[in-house]
């Protein structure tokens, strides 16, 4: 845990010293939020479900671009720099290395999406009815995005190829997310949820426009069940796949850190 936090702080410092990257992940969302708040669209043009859909699309965009794409690039870059090898030599656990490397991206996603959700609520004067499901959606988005990035990074040899390799995940999260906004909340299908983005969208919409009566939370939990199941399954599957395929050095084959399941580290 100490190692992961130390590494995350160093990654944050590296990010802060890269002016272009820092501008993209911090300043751009802030400007977008400020613009949204200061230039709200006419309320009559934005019905409640559409506001929820907007929030869902925002989460899909942040997850696919700010988290997955950025994380794949960071992992591939650290591998090209042989830093991942360096951390492995330190004796730090693989999970701690990945967590520390990806944590800044995750925090920035969470921070950025929180700012955008707040701006959306202020601009439209429509607060989400069940914020718990929004928070859960963001948490699951970071978990899904992190494992997806780890899995994808094994297939990208260079940072230049990272965006191409990440395209299927990008398309599933963003495309699926938009797809699930095109139908009423109760009509989101398993196929839509299966993209990952669709499941996240459903959770966001439940949080924003979900049931408001006394049994609201129970009803929302019931409605969210399928999406939760899909997201947990996808995250677990990508986590296992990432464990099996991850490459720590540029010349290594895809073998992960459990190439021999019998070899347990002590």
Partner 1 sequence: MTTTATGDRDHPRGASGATTTTPDPSLRPAPDPAIEVQQLRCSYGDFEAVRGIELRAAPGELLAVLGTNGAGKTTTLEVLQGRRPADAGHIRVLGLDPARQRRALAARAGVVLQESALPDELTPAEFLLLWQQMAGGGTLTHRPVDEQLARVDLTHRRDVRIGRLSGGERRRLDLAIALSADPELLFLDEPTAGLDPESRADTWTLIRQLLHTGTTVVLTTHYLEEADALADRLAIMHEGQIEVAGTLPDVLAARDARIRFTLDNDTTLPNERLIGQATVTRQRDRQHVEVRTPDLADDLRSLLAWSQAGGTDLQRLHASEPTLAEVFHDVRTTTNTPEVTR
Residues at the interface with partner 1 (CB under 8 A)? 2-3, 6-7, 10, 13-14, 17-18, 81-83, 85-93, 248-249, 252-253, 259-260, 263-266
Q: Which is nearer to partner 1, 79 or 193 (CB)?
A: 79
Q: Which is nearer to partner 1, 81 or 212 (CB)?
A: 81
Tokens coding 11: 């990654």
Q: How far is CA 244 from CA 114, 173, 221, 240, 266, in A?
A: 33, 22, 33, 6, 19
Distance CA 239, CA 151 (A): 7
Q: Which is nearer to partner 1, 191 or 254 (CB)?
A: 254
Q: Which is nearer to partner 1, 135 or 252 (CB)?
A: 252
3-state secondary structure 150-201: HHHHCCCCCHHHHHHHCHHHHHHHHHHHHHCCCCCHHHCCHHHHCCCHHHHH
Cβ 101 to partner 1 shortest distance, Å: 11
Q: Residue 58 phi/psi, 5° resolution?
A: -60, -45
Q: Which is nearer to partner 1, 51 or 84 (CB)?
A: 84
Cβ 13 to partner 1 shortest distance, Å: 7
Tokens coding 222: 């019931």
- DSSP state, 69? I
Cβ 107 to partner 1 shortest distance, Å: 18
Q: Which is nearer to partner 1, 93 or 219 (CB)?
A: 93
Cβ 253 to partner 1 shortest distance, Å: 6
Name the residue with tokens 């395929």: 245
Asked if 169 and 148 touch (Cβ cutoff 8 Å), the reply is: yes
Cβ 240 to partner 1 shortest distance, Å: 19
Cβ 22 to partner 1 shortest distance, Å: 11
Q: Which is nearer to partner 1, 100 or 198 (CB)?
A: 100
Q: Quick one: 225 exposed, middle or buried, by C-beta within 10 A (0-12, 13-18, 19+)?
A: exposed
Cβ 244 to partner 1 shortest distance, Å: 14
Q: How far is CA 45 from CA 55, 124, 162, 266, in A?
A: 16, 10, 39, 60
Residue (of 134, 139, 124, 126) closest to 205 by Cα position: 134
> Across the chain, which distance is largest between two alpha carbons, in Å?
62
């Amino acid at each position: 845990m100490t190692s992961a936090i130390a590494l995350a702080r160093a990654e944050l410092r590296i990010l802060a010293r890269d002016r272009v990257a820092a501008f993209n992940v911090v300043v751009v969302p802030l400007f977008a939020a400020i613009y949204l708040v200061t230039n709200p669209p006419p309320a009559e043009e934005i019905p409640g479900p559409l506001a929820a859909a907007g929030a869902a699309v925002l989460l899909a965009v942040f997850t696919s671009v700010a988290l997955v794409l950025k994380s794949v690039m960071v992992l591939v870059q650290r591998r090209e720099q042989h830093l991942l090898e360096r951390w492995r030599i330190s004796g730090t656990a693989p999970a701690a290395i990945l967590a520390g490397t990806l944590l800044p991206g995750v925090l920035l996603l969470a921070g950025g999406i929180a700012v955008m959700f707040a701006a959306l609520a202020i601009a439209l004067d429509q607060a989400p009815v069940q914020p718990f499901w929004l928070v859960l959606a963001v948490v699951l988005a970071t978990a899904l995005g992190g494992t997806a990035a780890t899995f994808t990074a094994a297939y990208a040899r260079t940072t230049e190829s990272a965006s191409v390799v990440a395209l299927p995940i990008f398309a599933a999260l963003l495309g699926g997310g938009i797809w699930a906004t095109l139908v009423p909340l109760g009509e989101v299908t398993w196929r839509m949820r299966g993209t990952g983005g669709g499941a996240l969208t459903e959770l966001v919409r439940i949080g924003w426009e979900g049931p408001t009566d006394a049994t609201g939370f129970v009803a929302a939990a019931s409605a969210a069940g399928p999406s939760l199941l899909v997201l947990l399954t996808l995250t677990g599957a990508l986590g296992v796949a990432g464990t099996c395929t991850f490459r720590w050095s540029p010349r290594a084959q895809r073998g992960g850190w459990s190439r021999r399941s019998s070899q347990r580290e002590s």
